[in-house]
Chains A and B, each alone.
Chain A
Amino acid sequence: MGKRSLAFNKELAAKILFALSASAAIIAVGLICVFLFVQGLPAIWNIGVINFLTGTVWQPTWNPPLYGILPMIVGSLYVMAGAILFGVPIGIFAAVFMAKFCPRPIYKVLKLAINLLAGIPSVVYGYFGMVILVPFVRENFGGNGNSILTASILLGMMILPTIISISESAIRAISSEIYEGAVALGASHERATFRVVLPAAKSGVMASIILGIGRAVGETMAVRMVAGNQAILRMPHEFLSGARTLTANVVLELGDAYGDHRAALIATGVVLFVFIMLINALFSMLKKKDGV
């Protein structure tokens, strides 16, 4: 009897332990949500939702202060689009190459290089961007080098490992019968890969792109070091000028800010949070579609 209840207690304890571990992530997300919204929403309310989201002037130390974050929202969209432009084609082609065309010795080197790329801390990317990419863009394209273009190139590099490794496993997950069927019908290796296997892996590839976008939107350190950080509403043709992203806005000024300024920065965090939520929702929608 005693033995059995001991076993029962052990079982129960283990259950509780696992349940707690499993809920840790949920609790963390919940706490962050509560913190952000409790601290950020009143600020948005005070500034006015419309003024805050569509205001084009950010001058927090002025009297009266102006808190418009439209330049930052647009800035985030630009560098996100730029990162897609640079990162996605290279990433997908590299993934196809690694899954379907790569000789074994080269594969080992490539895989190593990509894992290395994934492991480099973003501050190192940022420093690299500052001392190599910024002068490179300045000398070859013009402007002072701290620009939307520079940030896009750097982010394109940073999202490569995400896109390559997830796309590669998506392509590998397509059963070989699909490929062999295409070849049996007379398609060449290239045609079968590009017209049959890659379309079949579409949703996995899309998922990799969306995760990459998530990384690009959330990236802070590296972007802040090369983007110039001007809170000015830019037009797309001004890609050689600098821009400030939502993340950069928060991290640039949070150290020195207090009072309303600080609240406005946390409110910027709320907008960023909603941004990321939308991207994640898109991701799970695609996954669901894939699962069926």
Chain B
Amino acid sequence: MLKKVIKSVFGLSVVAALGFSLAGCGGGAGNPSGAGDSAPTGQITVITREDGSGTRGAFVEVVDVTVGDNDGITTEAVVQPGTGPMLTAVSTDPLAIGYASTGRALSDDRVKVLSIDGIAPTVENMLNGTYAIQRPFIIGYGTSAGLSALAQDFVDFIFSAEGQEVVAREGYVPFRPEGAPQYTSSGLTGSIVVNGSSSVYPLMGHLREAYLELNPNVSIDVHGAGTGHGISAVRDGIADIAMSSRDLRESELEFMTPLTIGIDGVAVIVHPSNPIEDLTLEQVRNIFLGGIERWENAR
């Protein structure tokens, strides 16, 4: 009797241990088993970015997801740190809704980008202001320290015709759509450190590449550690240029000079299997406040 019990327990635990290790090996290639054609009925999985994120700050402000003057995103919302985890989380949950930089969301076919009040987040709609959820992409440098000659040259490049073309090509709205001066390589050498918003990070990476093609003897380190992190890095003199995906606060403007390099929309995203194409700004607001809890009530 004891023998039998022991044998079956062993069988189970060995199978479990083996199964775990095998599953661990093959896990990466697996399909999200939640991806089906099921219509969205059920509890909405609200997914948000972490407190302090620039994208969250901009989203809360523009959509007015506030209680009093404070961030009112429902505390029941799942929190994902960073644009990448946000996109992955939404892409694996058929009932999810989240938000991310339009530049990143539109180029990721694992998620579906919704229109807001019938208006899609295209470059034209952001330029003419009809797509409501948009925010500036800002770079900043220490006011007292100023920019090094090389950093100044990189900034000049960003605002040149060549740099602004990169901004437009990546799906963002350039700060200077027309009439930007041509850039000519200065032949400077040295290195620059750029740190900040994970939303601005991909764009800065493309700007860096384009700049390095013209200035092969320069090295530029770009880190996307978060808006707050980038700002404190510039304050502490660790980075030359900070990236921010929201307007700077009073306290930050005391030591930093901001420059707007472009405008980015914040896209509201759902799982591709979700039949919904369009929500009103008010519906988005209520979903993130926790007022609308089920997809049936969102339509």
For residue A247, CB closer than 8 A to chain B, the reply is no
**Residue pair B70, A120 in contact (C-beta under 8 Å):** no
Question: How many Å lie between the Cα of A101 and that of B229 in the bound state?
Answer: 54
> A160-B20, A194-B2, A253-B50 are known contacts; what are 14 more A-B pairs with Cβ within 8 Å?
A61-B57, A61-B70, A63-B70, A120-B24, A127-B28, A138-B34, A145-B93, A160-B17, A164-B17, A224-B81, A252-B79, A256-B226, A256-B228, A261-B51
- Asked if B231 is at the interface of the complex by the 8 Å CB criterion, the answer is yes
> Contacts A63-B69, A255-B81, A255-B228: A232 and B76 contacting too (C-beta < 8 A)?
yes
Within B26-55, the residues touching A (CB, 8 Å) are 27-28, 30, 32-34, 43, 45, 50-54
**Nearest residue, chain A, Cβ from B13:** A93
Residues of chain B contacted by A281 (CB below 8 angstroms):
none
> Who on chain A is nearest to B9 by CB?
A93
Judge whether B232 and A130 touch: CB under 8 Å.
no
Stretch at the interface among B84-92, B146-154, B212-220, B277-285: B84-92
Known: A97-B13, A191-B2. A139 touches B34 (CB 8 A): yes
Q: Tell me which residues from 239 to 266 in chain A have a Cβ below 8 Å from any Cβ of chain B.
A: 241-242, 244, 251-259, 261-262
Determine which of A124, A135, A194, A230 lies in contact with B6 in the assembled complex, contact meaning CB atoms within 8 Å: A194
Residues of B within 8 A of A143 (CB): 43
Within 8 A of B (CB), among A118-155: 120, 124-125, 127-128, 130-132, 134-136, 138-139, 143-146
Contact B52 A261 (CB under 8 A): yes
Q: Which among B6, B12, B93, B232 is the interface contact of A258 at CB below 8 angstroms?
A: B232
Task: Flag whether A24 is at the interface (Cβ < 8 A).
Answer: no
Q: Is residue B227 within 8 Å, beta carbon to beta carbon, of the partner chain?
A: yes
The 8 Å CB contact of B52, one of A139, A146, A194, A256, is A256
Binding site for A on B (CB under 8 A): 2-3, 6, 9-10, 12-14, 16-18, 20-25, 27-28, 30, 32-34, 43, 45, 50-54, 57, 69-71, 75-81, 85, 88-89, 92-93, 95-96, 225-229, 231-232, 251
* Distance, CA A203 to CA B75, complexed state (A): 42
* Cα–Cα distance between A256 and B6 once the two chains are bound (Å): 52
Q: Which of B17, B27, B77, B225 contacts A230 (CB 8 A)?
A: B77
Chain A residues whose C-beta falls within 8 Å of the C-beta of B69 in the assembled complex: 63
Counting chain A CB atoms within 10 Å of each CB, the highest count among B21, B81, B228 belongs to B21
Task: Kindly report which residue of chain B lies nearest to residue A265, judged by CB atoms.
Answer: B52
Q: Mark A22-41, 1 if CB is under 8 A from B, else 0.
A: 00000000000000000000
B-chain residues with CB within 8 Å of residue A196 when the two chains form the complex: none
The 6 closest A-B pairs by CB, nearest first: A256-B52, A255-B226, A128-B27, A229-B79, A135-B34, A256-B228
A residues in contact with B53, CB < 8 Å: 256
Some 14 contacts from A to B, beta carbons below 8 A apart, are A60-B51, A93-B12, A117-B20, A125-B24, A127-B27, A127-B28, A130-B92, A138-B93, A139-B33, A144-B43, A144-B95, A252-B81, A256-B52, A257-B51
Do B24 and A124 have beta carbons less than 8 Å apart?
yes
Which residues of chain B have C-beta atoms less than 8 A from A117's C-beta? 17, 20-21, 24
User: Which of chain B's residues has its CB closest to A261's CB?
Assistant: B52
What count of chain A residues pass the 8 Å CB interface test? 64
Whether A190 sits at the interface, judged by CB under 8 Å, is yes
Q: A94-B13, A125-B24, A251-B81 are in contact. Are A230 and B2 (CB under 8 A)?
A: no
Distance in Å: Cβ of A268 to nearest Cβ of chain B: 13
B-chain residues with CB within 8 Å of residue A130 when the two chains form the complex: 88-89, 92
A63 partner residues in chain B, CB cutoff 8 A: 69-70
A residues lining the B interface (CB < 8 Å): 59-63, 89-90, 93-94, 96-97, 101, 106, 109-110, 113-114, 116-117, 120, 124-125, 127-128, 130-132, 134-136, 138-139, 143-146, 157, 160, 164, 188, 190-191, 194, 224-225, 228-232, 241-242, 244, 251-259, 261-262
Cα–Cα distance between A110 and B21 once the two chains are bound (Å): 10
Docked CA distance A136–B33 (Å): 8
**Is A61 in contact with B33, judged by CB distance below 8 angstroms?**
no
Shortest beta-carbon distance from A65 to chain B in Å = 9
Contact of A90 with B81 in the complex, beta carbons under 8 Å: no
CB B195 to nearest CB in A, in angstroms, measures 10
B20 touches A144 (CB 8 A): no
Q: How far, in Å, is B255 (CB) from chain A's closest CB?
A: 12
Docked Cα-Cα span, A94 to B15, in Å, equals 10
- Given known A117-B24, A190-B3, contact A244–B79 (CB-CB < 8 A): yes
Q: What residues on B are CB-neighbors of A232 within 8 Å?
A: 75-76
Residue of B nearest to A191 (CB): B2
Q: How far is the CA of A144 from the CA of B251 in the complex (A)?
A: 39
Contact B52 A114 (CB under 8 A): no
CB distance from A233 to the nearest CB of B (A): 10
Bound Cα distance A237, B214 (Å)? 61
Q: Are A228 and B14 in contact, with the CB atoms below 8 A? A: no
Task: State how many angstroms separate the Cβ of B23 from the closest Cβ of chain A.
Answer: 7
With A93-B10, A127-B28, A225-B85 as contacts: A144 and B93 at CB distance below 8 Å: yes
Closest to B75 in A: A232
